[in-house]
Structure 1
Amino acid sequence: MAEAALHTATTCKIRHVHIECPICLTRFIDPKILDCQHSFCLKCLQELVDKQDSKTDFILCPVCREKTSIPAKGPSALLNCFLLSSLIDDVINPNSPEKKTCSPKCRKHTDQELCFYCETCDLLVCLKCVVFDHRAQNHKLTEIKDSIRTYRQAVEEALMRFDECRKQFQKVDDSIKHSQHRLQLMVDRALQDIVAKEEEEVEKIRKASRLLQERVTQISIERGGEFGSKQSINSDKMSRAEQIVASVNDLMQHADDFELLDLKLKVMHNLTFHNELKFQTVQHSKSFIWFKGHDVVTDADIGEILEEEKWEVKTEFGKEGEGEGEFKFTWDVACLSNDDIVVTDSERQILSTFTSNGSYKSQGVQSRTEDGQLKKPIGVAVTSDDLLLVTDGQDVKVYDRELRYIRKFRPSQNQVEGQSESLLVGIAVDKKDRIAVYDFGRKVISLHNKDGSTISTIHHDDIGDTDNPSFISVNNKEQLIFTNLLESKLVCVDFIGNEVFNISTSLDGKTVFSTGVCCDDAGDIYACIVRKNGGGDGDRDGDGDGDGDGFFELHHYDASGEHIGCLARGLYGPLGMTFTPTGDLIVAALHSVKILHRV
């Protein structure tokens, strides 16, 4: 009973949904297929043509409004829909024995079965057609089973090419979404900076402030509109392509061999869409916008809008030595919420703090308790509440903003026999105060809660060892980005170790070293690059001035690892780096610290 009920319900659905003509709303009689793949009764199509102007040479589909050329012999010469005819027969005679599979008869020689396919004419033919019409003209003839096999293979290859188009669409779409997100973040930041400058100058700059805000908003609207428009165009293209693919897949699954060959020209024509399926991209550079304030303000000018990202050194402080504010080996930097800068000196085994303009403030932890005294400080990072985290040998030590020791934790609690001793180098903290620690002694990265408890331990082939020290950062997508200095690698993994991307930082075919790395609020990546080929020791960049700066550069990558460009040069000895709350970039540069800003 249940099977009978199901059969009845299915049959009713087929009767009402699939085998009724959209024009007369009754069961199809002699159904014909238009180029858009919609089907109608021959009589209904003929009536449509009869009502049209005699000069009109096409049929406008009543469903989708797509045009189909009227054959010279009229609608009767349109392709038959054998699938619908078969469905109708099944609905009318649901209990009839299974139909015998037989070849259709030739239209020209009605007593002959169709048994060959002419590749030259794209036509099913009978034996007489072969003898009298096709063989004499050296047409390419194949048996139906061979032709349908080749046909199906061609369809499969076309669908595979479409899959590549789908992947390209997804890549472009993800890139546009990231650019939209970054643009919005930078627009918000630019507007905030403009407002801060306005409040600082008050009445003198109010008029100019409104003009700049309008300009930023205008840029946001123009670029956002461009991003949205291209994204919409790409989505529309993809949607239309998906519809064609769905229609072809449905046809390939349900039509028999003869129907497929009858429709071959139109199906293969429809599948050529991927040749024109080109997705519109956006320039990543258009996601950048920044506000640069001026120190001298007039009634008409408080600053300017930067639409192209460039950096230059704004401030540099420190020199080689062992006095106050001097360094032997600056390895890493961090920035507190009040813009104070904290620097690790691995040779002098100290932390030092400086103001945002580079004025020396204090030096700590050298003469504190035994636990608080640093022995091999390398990496430094800061939490949301201004706790300083310093990697020191096998421990992460915690200090307050006055450099007073608070506590420590050890990422590797137990030493495993045969395993190298833990040696911590890089450290990074995300917005939720989760701590990533780079252990190049054990070649692992461990992730911890703020109290030091372990979240996960990540193993990866490109994590450097003691002969290959590298750096680490964390972005806003719960992903870790780390460098492999000697192998010129920039690697991204998620918090459980799944690789997101792994790219070479080689530039222009030349080997480079990747050192410090950090991420902005949008997830874009900034990495210090050291070019391998330089001058001698007295002239490290080979330009004759003896400074060596030309081979040390700041490079920009988007969140997917795509290289955007070089932003700055002349960063001799760049190692660790970080962003300030105001958006400047601080770089530890061996014997000094450099602060870069956008220009």
Structure 2
Amino acid sequence: MAASITITSVLDKISKDHLECPICTNRFINPTMLDCLHSFCFTCLKELHQQDPNNSILLCPLCRKKTTLEDNKVDSLPKDFKLNALVDEFTVQEQLMEGHGSEVKCQACKKNYTAVSRCIDCEHFICQECQQAHQQLAILESHKIYSLAQLQSGVVTYRSKIREYIPKCGKHSDQTLNIYCNTCQKLECTTCTVLDHGNPKHDLIGIPEALDKCKQEVAELVANAKKCKVDIQTAMEQASESRKKLESSYAETNMKISQKAAKERAKITEEEKQLKQEAESVYKDRVQTFETAEATNTKEVTQVEHKLDEVNQFMTQASSHEILDFKLKLINNLDELTKRQGEIVSDRLSFLEFEEGERSVGRLVLGDDQQAKAEAQAKEHEQIHTKQEWKLKESVSKIGNTKFKWAKSVAAFSDNEIVVLDFDRIALFALKPQLAANKSQSTHCPQILNDKSLVKPIALTVNNNDLLYVIDYLEVKVFNRKYMLHHQFQLSERKIFPSCLAVDENNLIAVGYSGKKILLYNPGGSLIRTFSTPVQVDYLTLYKERIIYSSQSGRHLHSVDYKGGKVFSVDIDQSERSYGVCCDKDGSIFVAQYNGTTQNNRICQYSPDGKYIGCDIEDCGDAYNITFTPSGNLVVAATSSVNIY
């Protein structure tokens, strides 16, 4: 059976959902408003402030937004008159509920008679005798009196006089706030406008005109916030569609893998297993990306909806004076909504395909290769690679009191956070971006990452999914964005030590060896191909299915494609040795070069086909490894410091 719905149950729910203080969970008493438009009992806020009386900042218990107290006093906070009026009106209606009429007593005399009516002007329930007194006394005969029956039936709607309250001036208690200063964005009394706002620069207008202007500004910001909400929802829908395509392509890929594997099951069972594990790993990584975006966007939409509801309720129920008094808070809250953005997930993450092999099951195709190559070639032909001008932006030499001993390798996450490997200390350091108050302050917040899972880290890099790859002895350890170990795999070559690694746009991993080898791996750790090189490989980078590498002992810059075909091999100044190498987003190659006569390297630039363009940075320190951040900064691991250009 359905639960019966009574007037009492409905009123209880309304009171609980809308008229109870979130702190004490009792009905509001003297509701007081914070900057975020959330209200609480004045006494509750007073007690909250007493927990840290020297702090002039109050954190909202609901949304954690900060409100600054004037003179460190809770009394400076504005009263929520619209909510106070609602509590008053609700309390009266509650007293007038059917079956409770006889329990309402006269509030105008001491005889405890049953009330028969309510004087709207006195705001009292009155008995028959007091009603007659109102009608007989000339001073009271203008008062409006309604019977309980009229109020109970709804023929007459009770409206609290609190709604008609016009605030008084804090400086001149005998005057009301009846003028609005556009310059100061405050309500003022007549005397204050003469004494404090007489300057011609102050724009003074009447309440009706100021109210119309405020409503117009609020309406425009509400429209922008709604548009922002629509944009976030569009991003959610796009991510949802892309995920559906991913689900479909994942299922079809698994089916194709199984069909091919069934033909040669006896000899390729292990390869099938590896491919499915790799597909599952890619699938899980991408699903996590979609789910993270969906959760973020859902949270954003919910917050926008809640804030719009609060603003709409305020604009509907508040008086003209309240609206103008809280104009700045309304504008600030709505302005924050218009700046929110949805998290957009690239549709390319939905692409997952299987390509059959002639002598093996085949391989996973993680991106649309033909389209990517065509776009890359077209873009490469259009670009003119010229020498770039770089300036030192920041140099970090220590974390707190801990100095770098050997900053050997660097990488950057998608949010421009830089992670540094100190080879001598066997430790990782993070340089987290922060807003600097002035140009003399650091734009990064250094932090030591105490990871005990590393034994002998050699080099590191970051992939497109913000996973950190670290060569540790003869293993590759993979950490998530919180620097927690995600997974790890052993390197196929166990006889010689690796020297460097890099990942490409499809998250394929290349590992270089001083023993003149390069090994190419799938994201899950299965070996794709082994390359033999003419020189030892000390540093390498990947760009559009090309491997570009350098050697400290050589005087050349080399490049091969993923099939082992030579792309170029160019001479570097014979007096110099090459160290770190990386590419920018357009394919220009940057190499740290050392002439052996000083402790200062220089950064030289080459075109994507290996042609020398020029020296971009002179005297960049004892540089080893270099990389680019997503924002375009060039980061140099210079042994005793990390330099950012």
Q: TM-score, normalised by structure 1?
A: 0.47
Q: TM-score, normalised by structure 2?
A: 0.44
